[in-house]
Amino acid sequence: MKRNPMPLFLLTMAVVLAFGLLLTGCGLNQADDGVVADAETTTPQEPALDGRIVESESELQNELEAIARREAEIARREAVLEERQAQQAAEAEAQARAEAEAAARRPIVLTIPALTGIEIDLNEDLSSETSLVGDRVTATLAQDVIVDELVAIAAGSEIQGVVAQVVPTRSFGGQAQLQLSFDRLLTADGDLLPVAAVLDLSGERQRKKDAATIGGSAAGGAVLGRILNDKDRDEGTAVGAVLGAAIGAIVAANNKADPIELPAGTPLLLTLDAPLTIELDRNV
């Protein structure tokens, strides 16, 4: 009796399949055990603050300390910078304050141009007949001298000088002359400044009728001389002319040129010959 081969074949396939499943299960268990072991021995990786992967806790601590040191250095530099900026600001403020104080102490400089007229009143009597060269002369400013709407020289300041030239009227036909030279200015604040100004004064000349009187007297004297000396007409004429001229001179002497008489308080206009620089205190 023949056996059927199919049961044997099926049995063989079942054994092979069971063995394959057994082998597969063992491999999976070993793989799982390896994964678990790796998981137990490996520390999870954490990213560092600078983007790198930190491998350990100590490295992470080192990174944090380095960051703290960098932040501390940045803070120190910022503090130094702020201190330097504050120092520079304080120095700039001190310099600005010093410049302002210096400007406040710096005087105002005014210049009075040459040919400026200054009204003065004489303090002494002056005369072409009695004054002498070298006599001291002073005068007081009658009005303020204004420059740029500021009082450059206050009224009451004293200008000082001397009599530089005198021509008296001690003979007929003369003209009295008086020259005053001023070289110093005493301001109302007590400052003594150099100044240059000359004042020329002239009296009136002897009148023409005085010369006519002298001429007429000479002619009359010539006629008189001829009458007095008929014997020698030439000699009589010459003697008469001299006599007549002398008579005319006596008449003219009583009508000679006017002298210059300047009593104290006489107002005069003085013209500066050179510019005059004045310094004014800003605090006044």
Distance in angstroms (rounded) separating the CA atoms of residues 242 and 234:
13
- Give me the percent of the chain exceeding a pLDDT of 70: 60
Q: pLDDT band at 77, cuts 50/70/90?
A: very high
- Read off the pLDDT of residues 183-225 as tens digits, 9 standing for 90 and up: 999 998 889 999 999 999 987 765 544 443 334 433 344 333 3
> What pLDDT does 256 receive?
58
**pLDDT at residue 242, rounded to an integer:** 42
Average pLDDT, the chain: 75
| Count, residues in the chain | 284
Name the pTM for this structure: 0.51
8 A C-beta contact, residue 140 and residue 158: yes
Q: Which has the higher per-residue pLDDT, 89 or 207?
A: 89
Indicate the angle between helix axes 208-228 and 233-253, nearest 10 degrees.
150
* Strand, coil or helix: 94: helix
> For residue 111, what are the β-bridge partners?
277
- Do the beta carbons of residue 163 and residue 132 sit within 8 Å? yes
